[in-house]
Amino acid sequence: MTELYLIGIGTGNPDHLTRQAVKALNACDLVMIPRKGGKADLAELRLAICHEVLINPATKVVEFDLPVRDAANPDYAAGVNDWHDAIAEVWRATMAAHPAGHVALLVWGDPSLYDSTLRIAARLTDVRVSVVPGITSIQALTAAHAMTLNEIGAAVTITTGRQLQHGWPAGAETLVIMLDGNCAFQSLDPKGISIWWGAYVGMPEEVILSGPLAEVGAQIVEMRAKARTAHGWIMDIYILRKT
């Protein structure tokens, strides 16, 4: 049975790889690198990581085209499910074309946190899955702002931009917002809310900004738009806290 290693790689900085991740990568016979239309930089970063830490000459690195999700599907959950099915089939075809006992996929951040790689891998009944945890984008963001994630003895709520559009979660003081393509914080009354935002965190392109939401919210929207235009893609995350 093929063993599939899902290796967390942080935000693309080779220094974010753990020693466990480097060992796992070099123990694999095959590394699969996804290419997503318009985001060639992401594939190049994965390839750069392999070039820097991969010392096993027997390890083969192959690229594959990642299927595109049908964003026009009005049923979001069904659209994502179909997309995951398609990705699993591409994985299966790639591994069939390059038979290997140990296969690696490099996962941004950590496979456990708002990432679907484990759900997709579960569709492959003929593989055994092993996970190598990585540095999360949350850790990278708090480090970039030199801040603690929680107040003393207080809880933290991790959610998405899609959920934030429905309003501030009841009883929550600190929010971590992931997967927000539309700056959902704009839907909130900014009074008494602070924000710590970052894009490309941990990478050379990193940009961060923090302050009262009422004062810096519009700046973040503008910075985000300019960064996305400049690079053709963007990965960002932010923390909101009632103060």
The structural domain count of the chain equals 2
Q: Are 14 and 110 in contact (CB under 8 A)?
A: no
What is the distance between the alpha carbons of residues 60 and 76, in angstroms, rounded to a whole number?
A: 36
| Residue ranges of the chain with per-residue pLDDT less than 70 | 37-40
- Both 40 and 112 in one domain: the answer is yes
What is the distance between the alpha carbons of residues 102 and 79, in angstroms, rounded to a whole number?
A: 30
User: In this structure, is the dihedral angle defined by the CA atoms of residues 115, 113, 223 and 156, taken in order, positive or negative?
Assistant: positive
- Both 109 and 188 in one domain: the answer is no
- Domain stops at, among 135, 156, 172: 135
- Domain span including residue 164: 138-242
Helix H or strand E encompassing 49: helix 40-53
Helices 19-26 & 40-53 angle (0-180, nearest 10): 90
Check residue 166 and give its pLDDT. Answer: 95
- To the nearest whole number, what is the mean pLDDT of the chain? 93
- Both 128 and 196 in one domain: the answer is no
- Both 115 and 148 in one domain: the answer is no
Check residue 72 and give its pLDDT. Answer: 82
- Both 130 and 155 in one domain: the answer is no
pLDDT tens-digit profile of 50-106? 999 999 999 999 999 999 888 888 888 899 999 999 999 999 999 999 999 999 999
- Both 185 and 102 in one domain: the answer is no
- Both 102 and 73 in one domain: the answer is yes
- Residue carrying structure tokens 């963007």: 234
Check residue 37 and give its pLDDT. Answer: 66
- Both 14 and 84 in one domain: the answer is yes
Q: Are 63 and 34 in contact (CB under 8 A)?
A: yes
What is the distance between the alpha carbons of residues 38 and 56, in angstroms, rounded to a whole number?
A: 30
Check residue 74 and give its pLDDT. Answer: 86
Q: Are 124 and 105 in contact (CB under 8 A)?
A: no
Check residue 192 and give its pLDDT. Answer: 97
- Domain stops at, among 135, 152, 178: 135
Check: pTM over 0.85? Answer yes or no.
yes
- Domain stops at, among 115, 135, 155: 135
Check residue 40 and give its pLDDT. Answer: 65
Check residue 237 and give its pLDDT. Answer: 96
Residue 27 CA from chain centroid, whole number: 24
User: In this structure, is the dihedral angle defined by the CA atoms of residues 235, 213, 139 and 91, taken in order, positive or negative?
Assistant: negative
